[in-house]
């Protein structure tokens, strides 16, 4: 029988990679915040992203989803997207970030709804995507009295993930790691009347193919299913980066009307797409969003979708 008390073995190569990823973050903290964030964006877009192939991936995704975009616009957006990604990462690791964002006003038609839900002790399920800055959203909502527990996907590099989780926790807790345990913790929070934030724009192997930029993309129905099961309003929220690159505009939309999980998820996809079209460089086009939109996983998801919509029997 193995000794469960033994520390996890992490190979030296993985430790060195984690240290190499974290070192620039530590060094950059010597710069003032107003210089540190733009520098991180520039370094990511001009050096790190090209080395990792991310700029190329952005251009490929844009060519697939928006084939009419001129090539020079696609190239410009690839730099803007990776610049925003670099700023996001550095903001997460900057102690000054929360103080910088906490006075940002929150606007939008969904404000009366969430304030009413809070007064009634009802849970709220905030839904968003890898757009603008999810961390700015977390800070702003906390300042309004909506402490948002967040469901997250851990980083592949374990030493770097340790730093990442600590940085996430400095903004707000609880954090729910992707997996069965995290899902149970999140459900418990909803049942107790708490707030939870979920990013619902990743390729989901257990999802169904729904249209996103007129292309099939495997999409999880879990967020809408939870909203229906636990009677929570499903409220899209966005943090849009302002032109100066440091400030944000926080918007709380009207809730997605309760109907069925497929209809509600389609509505979220449509709202996210609308927001992206207004701010093309602020969505994380680095993700392989359409990776399994066709193929065996999509075929399985399409059958499940057909059952849900009643066009075939299970």
Per-residue pLDDT 10s for the chain (314 aa) are: 444 545 578 999 999 888 888 888 888 888 999 999 999 999 999 998 999 899 999 999 999 999 999 999 999 999 999 999 999 999 999 999 999 999 899 999 999 999 999 999 999 999 999 999 999 999 999 999 998 888 888 988 899 899 999 999 998 889 999 888 998 999 999 999 999 999 999 999 999 999 999 999 999 999 999 999 999 999 999 999 999 999 999 999 999 999 999 999 999 999 999 999 999 999 999 999 999 999 999 999 999 999 998 887 76
Cα separation of 233 and 257, whole Å? 8
Cα separation of 21 and 37, whole Å? 17
Buried b (16+ CB within 10 A) or exposed e, 289-303: bbbbbeeebbebbee
**Other Cβ atoms within 10 Å of 266 Cβ, number:** 18
Cα separation of 282 and 275, whole Å? 9
What is the per-residue pLDDT for 179?
87
Cα separation of 314 and 308, whole Å? 9
Cα separation of 138 and 149, whole Å? 9
Cα separation of 80 and 281, whole Å? 5
pTM reported for the whole predicted model: 0.92
């Amino acid at each position: 029988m193995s000794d469960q008390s033994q520390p996890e073995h992490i190979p030296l190569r993985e430790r060195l990679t984690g240290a190499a990823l974290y070192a620039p973050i530590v060094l950059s903290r010597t710069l003032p915040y107003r210089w540190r964030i733009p520098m991180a964006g520039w370094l990511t877009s001009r050096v790190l992203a090209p080395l990792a192939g991310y700029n190329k991936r952005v251009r490929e995704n844009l060519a697939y989803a928006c084939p009419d975009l001129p090539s020079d616009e696609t190239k410009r957006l690839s730099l803007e997207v990776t610049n925003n990604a670099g700023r996001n990462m550095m903001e997460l690791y900057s102690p000054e970030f929360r103080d910088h964002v906490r006075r940002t006003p929150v606007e939008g038609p969904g404000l009366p709804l969430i304030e009413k839900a809070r007064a009634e002790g009802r849970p709220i399920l905030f839904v968003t995507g890898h757009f603008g800055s999810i961390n700015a959203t977390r800070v702003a909502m906390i300042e309004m009295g909506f402490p948002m527990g967040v469901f997250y996907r851990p980083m592949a590099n374990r030493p770097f993930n340790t730093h990442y989780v600590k940085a996430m926790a400095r903004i707000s807790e609880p954090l729910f790691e992707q997996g069965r345990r995290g899902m149970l913790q999140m459900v418990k929070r909803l049942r107790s009347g708490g707030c939870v934030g979920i990013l619902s724009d990743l390729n989901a192997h257990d999802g169904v193919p729904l249209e996103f930029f007129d292309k099939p993309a495997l999409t999880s129905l879990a967020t809408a299913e939870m909203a229906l099961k636990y009677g929570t309003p499903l409220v899209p929220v966005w943090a849009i980066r302002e032109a100066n690159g440091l400030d944000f505009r926080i918007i709380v939309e009207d809730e997605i009307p309760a109907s069925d999980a497929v209809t509600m998820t389609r509505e979220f996809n449509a709202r996210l797409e609308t927001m992206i079209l207004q701010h093309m460089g602020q969505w994380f086009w680095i993700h392989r969003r359409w990776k399994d939109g066709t193929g065996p996983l999509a075929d399985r998801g399409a059958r499940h979708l057909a059952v849900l919509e009643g066009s075939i029997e299970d």
